[in-house]
């Protein structure tokens, strides 16, 4: 995949990266934008072009760099296996490795996926490499939550912004994954995130969506709890494999890290459920106002029309506002159960 293909739906990023290659790539980039916007594909395409420069066989270097996982010895790509990056992994695979000359060609590329998942210790340790990188080293940080990065880290990288994918691009990526109207709904509800759209087309996603649309908070909590437990178990297993491979991790650290990963997934699923609920109320208001063409839930228009009949659009608009307020409360670490119970009582008079 060429850089132009990887950034087909990201014109700003394509212009910025094409210009960078023409002038000589920077030593540090921060690709920032929502999940599913194509940051990873763009990073791999950029890395392939950088590694092809000065290679004995540029086409072969480019081909190997584009493989996932890549066998190219001068492309290092790390991703968090739990809730956070391992400090040791960042130190060994990025900071120390960046001081070694290329195995082949003239350059080395280091990609840190979900850079916001680096602990402050890792980010501070990375500063010197960002400030005084070897002339052959190039770092690419990918982040969907750049505000969680230390300012000292973000300011030392050239920012490249990625926007949410357009609905048409998400629909094309989902082709064959469900019924036409269900795909259309998932694409609109995903916010330009292909991964989220695929989740909504899965059995778990369909259950989550149904619970959200029916305001079945018990089912929503159970779905989130199950998702958190699944991620916690997977994180515990991955961390155990790291210990077996030689990384130093105490049993307490493994437990704490796995629990953090599980809690984060539980919160993410709850937040998505409330986002879907707010979108449903938004659609009700749109249909009640005679503007069903802007509805996200394209596969449930008959249900929307039935519920919107004779409805004052102001009521579902207010309901959507209440749901969004509850989402913001989650950021304050309030009890999710109590917040949802309070939301239920606040919605009752509005939707009566």
Alpha helices in the chain (DSSP H): 3-6, 11-23, 39-52, 58-66, 87-90, 120-131, 151-154, 167-174, 180-189, 194-200, 203-213, 217-244, 251-288, 301-308, 314-330, 336-351
Beta bridge partners of residue 160, listed in sequence order? 31
Q: Name the least confident of 72-76, 244-248, 276-280.
A: 244-248
Please determine, for residue 177, whether its predicted confidence score (pLDDT) is greater than 80.
no
Question: Residue 171's pLDDT band (boundaries 50, 70, 90)?
Answer: very high
144 and 9 together in one domain: yes
Compute the distance between CA of residue 281 and CA of residue 186 in angstroms, rounded to an integer.
16
Q: Which of 135, 161, 187 is the last residue of a domain?
A: 161
197 in a domain, yes or no? no
152 and 236 together in one domain: no
Q: Which residue has the higher pLDDT, 349 or 238?
A: 349
43 and 156 together in one domain: yes
Q: Which of 112, 141, 161 is the last residue of a domain?
A: 161
Please determine, for residue 332, whether its predicted confidence score (pLDDT) is greater than 90.
no
151 and 273 together in one domain: no
Segment 217-261, tens digit of pLDDT: 899 999 999 999 998 888 888 778 777 777 677 888 788 878 888
Mean pLDDT over 253-275 rounds to 86
Q: In this predicted structure, what is the pLDDT of residue 337?
A: 84
Q: Is 70 exposed, middle or buried, given 0-12, 13-18 or 19+ CB atoms closer than 10 A?
A: buried
190 in a domain, yes or no? no
Q: Which of 100, 128, 161 is the last residue of a domain?
A: 161
Tokens of 285: 């208001």
Q: pTM value?
A: 0.76
194 in a domain, yes or no? no
184 in a domain, yes or no? no
222 and 326 together in one domain: yes
Question: Residue 150's pLDDT band (boundaries 50, 70, 90)?
Answer: very high
91 and 149 together in one domain: yes
148 and 292 together in one domain: no
168 in a domain, yes or no? no
Q: Name the least confident of 20-34, 251-265, 287-301.
A: 251-265
155 and 8 together in one domain: yes
User: Looking at the 3D structure of the chain, how many domains does it have?
Assistant: 2
Q: In this predicted structure, what is the pLDDT of residue 102?
A: 95
Q: Which residue has the higher pLDDT, 331 or 227?
A: 227
We report the CATH number of the domain holding residue 108 as: 3.40.50.300
Please determine, for residue 351, whether its predicted confidence score (pLDDT) is greater than 70.
yes
171 in a domain, yes or no? no
137 in a domain, yes or no? yes
221 and 82 together in one domain: no
Q: In this predicted structure, what is the pLDDT of residue 261?
A: 82
Please determine, for residue 10, whether its predicted confidence score (pLDDT) is greater than 80.
yes
Show the domain range for 72.
3-161
130 and 259 together in one domain: no
330 and 228 together in one domain: yes
155 and 14 together in one domain: yes
176 in a domain, yes or no? no
């Amino acid at each position: 995949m060429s850089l132009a293909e990887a950034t087909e739906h990201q014109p700003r990023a394509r212009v910025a990266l094409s210009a960078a290659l023409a002038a000589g790539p920077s030593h540090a980039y921060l690709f920032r934008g929502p999940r599913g916007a194509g940051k990873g594909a763009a990073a791999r395409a950029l890395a392939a072009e950088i590694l092809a420069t000065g290679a004995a066989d540029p086409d072969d270097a480019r081909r190997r760099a584009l493989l996932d996982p890549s066998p190219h010895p001068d492309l290092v790509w790390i991703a968090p296996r739990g809730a956070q990056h391992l400090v040791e992994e960042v130190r060994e695979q990025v900071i120390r490795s960046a001081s070694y000359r290329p195995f082949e060609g003239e350059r080395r590329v280091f990609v840190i996926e979900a850079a916001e998942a680096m602990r402050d210790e890792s980010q501070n340790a990375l500063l010197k490499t960002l400030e005084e990188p070897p002339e052959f080293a190039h770092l690419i940080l990918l982040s969907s939550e750049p505000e969680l990065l230390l300012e000292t880290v973000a300011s030392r990288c050239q920012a490249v912004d990625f926007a949410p994918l357009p609905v048409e691009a998400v629909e094309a990526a989902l082709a064959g994954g469900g019924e036409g109207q269900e795909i259309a709904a998932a694409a609109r509800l995903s916010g330009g995130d292909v991964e989220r759209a695929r989740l909504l087309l899965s059995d778990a996603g369909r259950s989550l969506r149904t619970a959200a649309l029916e305001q079945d908070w018990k089912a929503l909590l159970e779905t989130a709890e199950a998702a958190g437990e699944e991620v916690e178990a997977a994180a515990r297993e991955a961390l155990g494999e790291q210990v077996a491979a030689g990384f130093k991790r105490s049993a307490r650290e493994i437990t704490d890290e796995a629990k953090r990963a599980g809690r984060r997934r539980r919160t993410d699923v709850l937040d998505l459920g409330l986002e879907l609920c707010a979108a449903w109320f938004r659609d009700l208001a749109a249909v009640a106002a005679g503007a069903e063409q802007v509805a996200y839930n394209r596969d449930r228009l008959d249900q929307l029309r039935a519920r919107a009949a004779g409805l004052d659009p102001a009521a579902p608009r207010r309901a959507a506002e209440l749901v969004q307020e509850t989402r913001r409360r989650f950021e304050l670490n309030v009890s999710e159960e109590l917040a949802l119970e309070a939301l239920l009582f606040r919605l009752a008079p509005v939707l009566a």
